[in-house]
């Protein structure tokens, strides 16, 4: 799942660290969706596009909070990449296999 967020140009997180963050517009787009052209994404007019990988950990929450308070500027678009662990490693080398050779 990919979520796009656009920063509110009137919001300055550095000067208001204790106030709750207002809800930001979000839009989920499947990359292969033929119904939604990529030019209508909220990130199309952004000056910078910042991607932050997140999961359900405290470290991810800290990374997002730090980015909002210290790095993001008005007009930036934030792309949150939600990552989840998988139980199967696709394409992983699961060990060697024995091959017989006749010579």
Q: Are 81 and 2 in contact (CB under 8 A)?
A: yes
Say what the pLDDT of residue 66 is. Answer: 95
Per the confidence metrics, is the pTM higher than 0.95?
A: no
Q: Are 33 and 4 in contact (CB under 8 A)?
A: no
pLDDT 10s digits, 4-62: 555 544 444 444 455 555 555 555 555 655 665 555 677 778 889 999 999 989 999 99
Say what the pLDDT of residue 27 is. Answer: 54
> CA-to-CA distance for 71 and 65, rounded, in angstroms?
10
Say what the pLDDT of residue 73 is. Answer: 92
Say what the pLDDT of residue 9 is. Answer: 46
pLDDT 10s digits, 57-99: 999 999 999 999 999 999 899 999 998 877 666 666 666 656 6
> CA-to-CA distance for 1 and 21, rounded, in angstroms?
22
């Amino acid at each position: 799942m990919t979520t796009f967020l656009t920063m509110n140009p009137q919001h300055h997180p550095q000067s208001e660290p204790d106030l709750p963050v207002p809800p930001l517009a979000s839009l989920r787009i499947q990359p292969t969706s033929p119904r939604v052209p990529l030019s209508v994404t909220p990130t199309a007019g952004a000056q910078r596009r910042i991607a932050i990988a997140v999961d359900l950990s405290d470290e991810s929450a800290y990374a997002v909070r730090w980015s909002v308070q210290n790095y993001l500027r008005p007009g930036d678009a934030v792309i949150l990449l939600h990552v989840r662990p998988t139980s199967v490693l696709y394409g992983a080398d699961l060990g060697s296999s024995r091959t017989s050779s006749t010579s």
